[in-house]
Each structure stands twice: as structure tokens, then as C-alpha cells.
Amino acid sequence: MAPKLKVEIRETVTLSNNNKYDAYNRYTLNGINHIDKRIVRVPTTGNEIIALSSSIGAGTFNEENVRYMRFTNLSTAHPIMLEFKNENDDCFITKVGQGLSFIYSGDHDNQFPIASSSGMINTLDATENNVIDMDHPTTPYSGLGDLVNVIAKASGSSAEYTVGSGSIYEVDMEVFIAAI
């Protein structure tokens, strides 16, 4: 039997008028042969927690093979900031609230029994001030870049990712990576 990663997400809520809502989504990634699961202490200064490259090493994963990454903030009091950077130095920054997770999935062709495709290659683009118009006839979209690293920073501030924006605290985060 070929190895599979089963991802399940369930959301339930009961509103004050006793109406109940439930959402359940699941997906199976075929061909997953390698996982890395660890808990890291996220410092108050931005530190690289994952690197992606064409070769592997300590904390470095093969960009073609990674299919799924989950970052779970284990703190009940403080958020974590995650920065995703591509080969063109484009950055995407997001806040992961207390007890919540952020999932970054790679490109995959989920054919049985082995998944193929390009993993984290050509999965990220970000612009600071320009709206991306992928269908503009005279200025074509230049495309996505390869994800090259993930940087994490712990913060107790409710403000955006800025220097001196309030109290900051180190927090623990679970990192889960699945690859073929």
C-alpha cells in the first residue's frame, strides 16, 4: 500500500440562537514518504525555521519534494508572525493567532500511487503596492517564484509586524512537513 497523508479540517459552531453549523473537509496526499514534526521555541527576533533548496541539509528540505507544511501556534496568549520568502525576495507575512494553524501546500499531482509535480517550486508571489492582474493583455503576469525559506517571530502585540509595537514573548510552535 502506498503511503498517504490524510488531512482533515473540521469547524463547528453553535450560535446564540442554538443554530449549529459544521464544516468538514478532508484531503489525501498520496506518495508521502517523509515527515518532519518538531516543536520549536520561536524567539522574539525573526529566525529562519525552514529553508527550501534543490538539496537537503540541516533544516533544509528539497523544494521539489515538499507537499504540505503546517505551522501551529501552541501559545494560548501570544501570536506568531510567519514570513514566507521566494527566490525573487518577494515576501508574504501573516499572523498566526493563539492556538491556531497556518497551512502552506505545495503543488502536487495526486495520482495514485505516487504523487508528482513540483512541490514548493513556483508557489509564491507577493507585491507590496501593486495589484496583480493575471489577465492584463499588455503587462503579462510574470509568475510565481520558488519558496526558499520561512522565518518566524513571536510577538505579544496586537499590531502588525512592526518594530517596537508592544510587548513581545517567546512562544512554542509545532512545525509539520510532509514530502514525497
Give residue-wise pLDDT tens across range 65-90: 899 999 999 998 889 999 999 888 88
Q: Which residue has the higher pLDDT, 82 or 43?
A: 82
* pLDDT confidence band for 169 (50 / 70 / 90): low
Whether this prediction's pTM lies above 0.85 is answered by no
pLDDT confidence of residue 23: 95
More confident residue, 109 or 2: 2
Are 61 and 43 a contacting pair, CB within 8 Å? no
Residue 161: what pLDDT? Answer: 39
pLDDT for res 132:
63
Residue type present at position 121: I
Out of 60-69, 97-106, 153-162, which region has the weakest mean confidence (pLDDT)?
153-162
Query: At residue 100, does pLDDT exceed 60?
Result: yes
Is 173's pLDDT higher than 80?
A: yes
Q: For 114-154, how does the pLDDT look when each residue is reduced to its tens digit (9 = 90+)?
A: 444 677 777 777 765 566 666 666 665 567 778 889 999 98
Rounded CA gap, 73 and 49, in Å?
Answer: 14
C-alpha cell at 79: 501570536
Residue 121: the pLDDT is 74
Give residues with Cβ within 8 angstroms of 52, minimum separation 6. Answer: 60, 61, 62, 63, 66, 120, 146, 147, 148, 149
